[in-house]
Amino acid sequence: MWSARTESSELSAVSGVALGVAQAGMKTAGKDDLLLVSLSPDTRTAARFTQNAFRAAPVDIAAAHVAATQGEPRYLLINTGNANAGTGELGWSAAMACCDAVATHMGVPVQAVLPFSTGVIGEPLPSDRIVAALGEAADDLSEDNWEQAAGAILTTDTRSKLRTVEVELGGQECRITGIAKGAGMICPDLATMLAFVATDVALEQTLLESLLVSAADASFNRITVDGDTSTNDAVTLSATGRSGVVIEADSPECRVFSEALTTLMIALAQDIVRDGEGASKFVEIRVKGGETQQAAEKVARTIAHSPLVKTALFASDPNWGRILAAIGRAGLAELDTRAVTIHINSVLIAEKGARAASYTEVQGQEAMDPTDLVVEVELSRGDEQAVIWTTDLSYDYVKINAEYRT
């Protein structure tokens, strides 16, 4: 059995994972903006990275280093305030300089270091600041620094995202703990959000990668704030094996662990949405009755990405016609509009291609007022379904992004 802890004050350390933070002067003065993560020997790590064609230099390097170490890197280095994307060869050299510094300081091969960056795109990375602050981060390494680590990786976020799940496997308590950042440029396509998850169970590399793919597809790949996929998206899953529990593929323990991991990653993903830039609403888009899961997801994403739907959500305006229009332009062949129904927070809004006979504007307003909304669409074309989590679109989102570099 397993149990989830959701309060940061109850965050559980993972044996074999130490974290240290420092101030490299990359963003607001006096704020931690550099994180060094130490992984004990024999820790296995799987990673997924953005599919954006302009992905950042540190993403390419991290992917290469995961492969070079056959999934056994020893250190993760994360800086905020600068994405080191759109920086060409200079960006590559700067990221490698940071990896070289960690390798020299900690006595490991350079391939054992995975770099990650988040922040402004197109600005040269001041690697000298990171190198200068590295000693401070190394001296700060502790298994109890998860909360400090969660704060050090933030950019426009207003709060930290950190979660722990405890899993009982064969009478042994095991842990999964993770942190994430992200508030804007959120429409991950993992193949600006970052997530780092660790567990004390032992997993062989192929199974570790499979579990990460499955959990990421059910969590981070189901969120969107603004429809923009970052150049720097990445998520890692590290398994130290320190609990002594070994997870085998297709075992009952594997199924329990997979469920717990997915639960934790969904919680982190939803935390990102709830902290979306300028967001005042958390919205779950459920689409049922699709011929395929992909078709249902296509409709859900079309609704979630519609600026007109999102502004109506912000205004708490039951302008259901915008949802109807989004469904209609999602590209489903031969859609029978008369078979489509729409509910908002359990209120029947539309059926048979028109406003429901039972619907009133008072009902619609009451359905739209809460900060948490569920928009449910029934396509009546099959048995497949999909869920996407998103936000509204507010004045503050425009203000935050218009003033991002000023």
CB 127 within 8 A of CB 92: no
Helix (H, G, I), strand (E, B) or coil at 234: strand
- Per the annotation, the verdict on 104 as an active-site residue is no
Contacts of 255 (CB under 8 A, 6+ apart): none
E runs forming strands in 31-112: 34-39, 44-49, 75-82
Distance CA 1, CA 10 (A): 19
User: In what helix (H) or strand (E) does residue 62 lie, and over which residues does it extend?
Assistant: helix 57-68
Strands 34-39, 44-49: parallel, antiparallel or unpaired by DSSP?
A: unpaired
> How many CA atoms does the CB half-sphere of 22 hold within 13 Å?
23
Alpha carbon of 229 to those of 55, 191, 235, 249: distances in Å? 10, 12, 14, 32
Distance of CA 19 to the CA centre of its chain: 20
Cβ(80)–Cβ(115) below 8 Å:
no
* DSSP alpha helix (H) spans, 275-402: 293-305, 307-314, 320-328, 361-368, 395-402
Q: Go through the chain and tell me how many residues it has.
A: 406
β-partners of residue 194 are 181, 234
End-to-end CA distance of the chain: 50
Q: Which of 69, 87, 118, 192 is catalytic?
A: 192
- Quick one: 56 exposed, middle or buried, by C-beta within 10 A (0-12, 13-18, 19+)? buried
Q: What is the CA radius of gyration of the chain?
A: 22
Active site residues: 192
